Chains A and B, each alone.
Chain A
Amino acid sequence: MPARGALLHSLTAQEAGQAARARRRKRLTALLFVLPLLLFILLAFVAPIASMLWRSVHHPTVSELIPRTIAELQRWDEHGLPDEASLAVFAEELHALARKRQSGRLAEELNRAFSGMSSVVKSSARQLGRLQPEQLATDGVPTLLKAHRNWSRSEVWYAIKRAGMTYTYDYYLTALDLERHPDEGIRPRDTQIYLKLYSKTLTLALIITLLCALLGYPLSYYLASLPENRANLLLVLVLLPFWTSLLVRTTAWIALLQTNGVINSTLLASGLLDEPLEMLYTSFATVVAMTHILLPFMVLPLYSVMRGIDPSYLRAALSLGDRPLPAFARIYFPMTLPGLSAGALLVFIISVGYYITPALVGGTDGQMISNLIAFHMQSSNNWELAAALGSLLLALILLLYWVYDRFVGASNIKLG
């Protein structure tokens, strides 16, 4: 900085202005080159993800279906039953929904807030729907309370009140296996589903990363010690899987691990086994297939770092009398750490968010968090919960990405 300052002092004001303008122009040119892609990525990639994050806290459906009930419930102190007037408003709104044939949506929403409510809402809506509008004022509330005993439970009304909030972080509570209780506040749920799955996902990702490091390190070391043209030849055996479709590699593992697949039939034919092993559709299959798929991501950065290490360091240590293993641990290994950490971080980042392979070979035992997100997106249609689970996963990935960018540099990812 002082050099530039000194330079500026020796310039006239006009020259300094010209230099500043030239610099601005250069900045502008650079920006103009980047701008099209920047806008494209913001619109096609960042905005969709942002809208998903928004969905995890913004949930207006219930308050749109029964707006007046939700407004009434704001007055309720969350103990006992809401007052007669509030119940009457709800009966009226449910009646209206039943007449418009929209009670199904409310049933689905409330079922998420309080399990078992789906059939309760539907049958109550049917019974209310049979009433004439002028009967509602007198018979509405009794019909409702008679339709199901759930309508006399304060927990149900509490759940409805919570579900009616337009902005909520309740989905994050669910995603973290917490629940809200009117008296005790936030407390852990009895059954832990999501935290267990997160820890399983992290454990599997860690195992896969360790396996990749254990298999990749000696291989890279061996390749780096070969003459370059021979190493390049063997590197093809690493690059071919890297370039081969993910679905192809997953298919290969299905063919290998099936009950009557290649491995089992070989072992049976050779007499090593009496009955086939159940390997496919287990977490074992997930770990093996994903290690196979991600191993090149470990080998490529490790190999390129090891290639750059001068072997004479290790030789010098040996000729100075150090024994081979300590010399390796003290001299060579520390120099390979950049490659090892780059590869390990990349493998870990990719495996934490993996979807396809666990979905195809993992069975129920080998599922990861991504698979549950897909389940809530496609089967249970609980998009808000899917978005909350996804946001937590995204936060974890971005943290790891930040670490990766700091220590490795995002644009240094090895592509072969």
Chain B
Amino acid sequence: MNSTPAYYGFWQRLGRLLLKLGSWLVLLFLILPILVIVPLSFNSEPFFSFTEGMLTLQPEAYSLRWYQEVFTDPRWILAIKNSFIIGIFATLLSTVLGTCAAVGLAREEMPLRRFITALLLSPMIVPLIITAAGMFFFYSDFGLAGTYPGVIIAHAALGTPFVIITVTATLVGFDYSLVRAALNLGATPLRAFFDVIMPLIRPGVISGALFAFITSFDEVVVILFMAGPQQRTIPRQMFSGLREQINPSILAVATLLILTSIALLVTLELLRRRAERLRLAPAE
């Protein structure tokens, strides 16, 4: 299929060639803007563009000064710390609640299944500005705005839909007689859950957790409205950097974030392969 078959006529060959060319252009459109950031972050000048020296590959045109700046600026350090604290706790909360709910939603006996699923997935669809505005008023009334618990709860709510989706996907075709068998053999419901259901859905739980983490890690609108200066995260710091004074330390952070997403992508791919192996295993 990759090379055109021999019976293709001239126009079909041309069409295939154009398709390939166009597709590669789109792929470049997708990836180039991201890759451009990486060399720019080593700029030794405070610009957002390539200097003459960079283009002629002069070593003194490149430097690590923006990385140094990021790791010595207390604001960036606080932001990095906050992103991880908020991300990790929000992930824990949404993974536990989301996994549990997905197991329940997978049962056909679940009353109002379709409506409740749509409701539980809605945080993914409602525009963040609306969520953020609503949360700002509501959480302020309970003294939660501008606190870590408030931000963590908000981010957990935004992350749960992803956990539900990924866990539900691993539960498709799950045979509940396995659970009944475990219960008949004397397992407690808790043990049945952890020994029978959990191994099967683990890849879904982990990739859901990764999604939840990246959702919190990347979220900025709710933070803008609800968090105080003490809860500034990496994207929040980038947002104000881009609005107020653009300097390449943002590019250095961006490069680090790109590396993070590559790591996440690789982890997810490994998980996907593992899940596939698990699903295929009984048939082999």
320-348 of chain A: CB within 8 A of chain B: 324
Q: Cα distance A390–B132 when bound, in Å?
A: 11
Q: Would A37 and B97 be within 8 Å (CB), given that A222-B20, A251-B251 are in contact? A: yes
**B33: CB under 8 A from chain A?**
yes
> How many A-B pairs fall under 8 Å by CB?
277
- The answer to whether A250 touches B100 (Cβ under 8 A) is no
- The answer to whether B104 touches A401 (Cβ under 8 A) is no
With both beta carbons as reference points, the residue of chain A lying nearest to B33 in the complex is identified as: A252
B11–chain A nearest beta-carbon distance, Å? 8
The interface size bin for chain A is: 35 or more
Segment of A128-136, A187-195, A256-264 in the binding face: A256-264
- The answer to whether B139 touches A374 (Cβ under 8 A) is no
Q: Would A353 and B107 be within 8 Å (CB), given that A44-B156, A48-B139 are in contact? A: no
**B92: CB under 8 A from chain A?**
no
Q: B132-171: contact bitstring with A at CB < 8 Å (1 yes, 0 no)?
A: 0111111101000000000001101100101011101000
A248–chain B nearest beta-carbon distance, Å? 4
For chain A, what secondary structure do more than half of its interface residues adopt (helix, strand, loop), or is it mixed? helix
The listed residue (A245, A378, A393) touching B254 by CB distance below 8 A is: A245
Q: Cα distance A109–B59 when bound, in Å?
A: 61
Segment of A3-11, A28-36, A72-80 in the binding face: A28-36
- The answer to whether B31 touches A241 (Cβ under 8 A) is yes
**B88: CB under 8 A from chain A?**
no
- The answer to whether B31 touches A215 (Cβ under 8 A) is no
Contacts of B281 in A (CB 8 A): none
B206–chain A nearest beta-carbon distance, Å? 13
Contacts of A38 in B (CB 8 A): 101, 116, 119-120
For chain B, what secondary structure do more than half of its interface residues adopt (helix, strand, loop), or is it mixed? helix
Q: Cα distance A288–B56 when bound, in Å?
A: 30
Contacts of A121 in B (CB 8 A): none
The listed residue (A37, A324, A374, A397) touching B15 by CB distance below 8 A is: A324
With both beta carbons as reference points, the residue of chain B lying nearest to A386 in the complex is identified as: B133
- The answer to whether A260 touches B160 (Cβ under 8 A) is no
- The answer to whether A219 touches B104 (Cβ under 8 A) is no
- The answer to whether A387 touches B100 (Cβ under 8 A) is no
Contacts of B23 in A (CB 8 A): 218-219, 222-223
Contacts of A65 in B (CB 8 A): none
- For the complex of A and B, the 8 pairs showing the least CB-CB separation, nearest first, are A353-B127, A33-B104, A48-B138, A48-B134, A222-B23, A37-B101, A34-B104, A52-B134
Residue numbers of A with Cβ under 8 A of B are 23, 26-27, 29-38, 40-41, 44-52, 55, 215-216, 218-219, 221-223, 225-227, 230, 234, 236-241, 243-256, 258, 260-262, 265, 292, 295-296, 311, 324, 349, 352-356, 359-360, 370, 373-374, 377-378, 383, 386-387, 390, 393-394, 397, 401, 404-405, 410-411, 413, 415-416
A-B contact pairs, 24 of them (CB 8 A): A29-B107, A30-B111, A34-B100, A34-B105, A48-B131, A48-B135, A52-B137, A215-B29, A219-B27, A225-B1, A230-B2, A239-B265, A247-B220, A251-B251, A253-B33, A260-B48, A261-B48, A265-B50, A295-B29, A311-B1, A373-B130, A390-B134, A393-B127, A410-B125
